[in-house]
């Protein structure tokens, strides 16, 4: 068996859809999920970071009311996707598995979550406060090396070719770009993000990945944090256009990038989830999504729109959490994550060219 060597890297979410294949069976599919706080299930509990959620009120609707490090009142998008691929919830974080020592390889049968709150496509995003995507991919390389040690090179390659790779990332890069008043023109910044995304996907491809479920950046200008900026500057409770403009332009460019690189990488198969339009439709016509009654304020927080302070033990907490789109000033509620996962998996106008469930089908 190989040793558990690991270069600390990137934030990419990987989930094992089935139990670990036996040595004689290389046909079982695994699921891997990488990304940011939308799919982090506790990675940041194991690093020195101010971006954590392992305290109340987080987790108030999680089993046993436990704050696990998820930026949610309960299960998040990683969990809801994992359930659709026959898991009870997301597999545990890679950094947790490292604490198991000799038990590391045995636990890979349930998959691995690499996602880290605050992570970005670019290493400069929240530097020294998160596990960027590049490091998450390095962590995946460690997992791949352990698969090879257990199953052999060929069997591991076949297994990874059939596995599912889900990635949700990009919002923090845009937040950081606007927060630091970067002089780089928006078009050039988006090109930087796309270049990084292309490199990351290509690296995963070189390590055996073929099936990619990509979740695009939502309209981050509409989260309570951004609405508060708009409210303070204009007096109107509306979305903040500068953030949404970049998020929308990035989605359109990402659509083109995936079409291009999939034509260059033989066997690559992808599904792009349009969380931008999906979320805007909920905000603009919540009556069409009867689950939601409040789409501007956070369920948990402080002050105006519950966006003037973090969701913590002293925060104001809404009683009807399943009626809220936003849990805190940035993140969706458990109910919103459930809805998004269902749309991505089952297929709708919000996912193309195929659904996440169709990714599972062999070529």
Neighbours of 181 (CB within 10 A): 6
22: Cβ–Cβ under 8 A, 6 or more apart, which residues? none
Of the residues 11, 36, 37, 216, which is catalytic?
37
Closest CA to 294 of 243, 333, 339: 333
Catalytic annotation on 37?
A: yes
Rounded CA separation 181/233 (Å): 17
Of the residues 79, 173, 328, 337, which is catalytic?
328
User: Tokens 């009870």 identify what position?
Assistant: 88
DSSP type of residue 164 = E
Catalytic annotation on 77?
A: no
43 and 70 Cβ atoms separated by less than 8 Å:
no
**Which residues are paired to 271 by β-bridges?**
213
Rounded CA separation 249/180 (Å): 20
Rounded CA separation 129/151 (Å): 35
Give the angle 247-248-252 at the CA atoms, nearest 5°. Answer: 120
Of the residues 11, 171, 331, 355, which is catalytic?
331
Phi, psi angles (nearest 5°) of residue 51: -95, 80
Catalytic annotation on 255?
A: no
| Catalytic residue list | 37, 328, 331
């Amino acid at each position: 068996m190989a040793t558990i060597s690991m270069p600390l890297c990137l934030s990419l979410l990987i989930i094992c859809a089935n139990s670990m294949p036996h040595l004689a069976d290389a046909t079982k599919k695994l699921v891997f999920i990488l990304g940011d706080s939308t799919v982090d299930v506790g990675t940041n509990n194991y690093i020195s970071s101010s971006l954590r959620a392992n305290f109340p009120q987080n987790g108030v609707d999680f089993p046993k009311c436990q704050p696990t490090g998820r930026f949610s009142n309960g299960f998040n998008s990683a969990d809801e996707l994992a359930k659709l691929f026959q898991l009870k919830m997301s597999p545990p974080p890679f950094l947790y598995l490292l604490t198991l020592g000799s038990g590391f390889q045995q636990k890979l049968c349930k998959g691995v979550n690499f996602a880290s709150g605050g992570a970005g496509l670019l290493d400069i995003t929240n530097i020294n406060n998160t596990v960027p995507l590049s490091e998450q991919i390095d962590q995946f390389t460690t997992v791949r090396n352990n698969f090879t040690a257990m199953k052999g090179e060929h069997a591991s390659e076949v297994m990874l070719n059939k596995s599912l790779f889900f990635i949700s990332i990009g919002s923090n890069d845009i937040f950081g770009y606007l927060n630091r008043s970067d002089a780089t023109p928006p078009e050039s910044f988006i090109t930087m993000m796309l270049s990084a995304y292309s490199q990351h996907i290509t690296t995963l491809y070189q390590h055996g990945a073929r099936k990619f479920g990509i979740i695009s950046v939502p309209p981050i200008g509409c989260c309570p944090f951004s609405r508060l900026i708009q409210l303070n500057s204009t007096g109107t409770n509306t979305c903040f256009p500068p953030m949404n403009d970049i998020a929308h332009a990035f989605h359109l460019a990402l659509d083109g990038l995936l079409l291009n690189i999939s034509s260059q990488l033989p066997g690559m198969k992808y599904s792009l989830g349009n969380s931008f339009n999906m979320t805007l439709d909920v905000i603009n016509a919540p009556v069409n999504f009867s689950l939601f009654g409040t789409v501007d304020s956070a369920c948990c927080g402080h002050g105006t729109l519950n966006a003037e302070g973090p969701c913590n033990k002293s925060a104001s907490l809404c009683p009807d959490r399943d009626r809220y789109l936003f849990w805190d000033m940035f993140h969706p509620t458990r109910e919103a994550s459930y809805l998004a996962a269902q749309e991505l998996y089952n297929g709708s106008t919000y996912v193309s060219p195929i659904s996440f469930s169709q990714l599972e089908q062999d070529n």
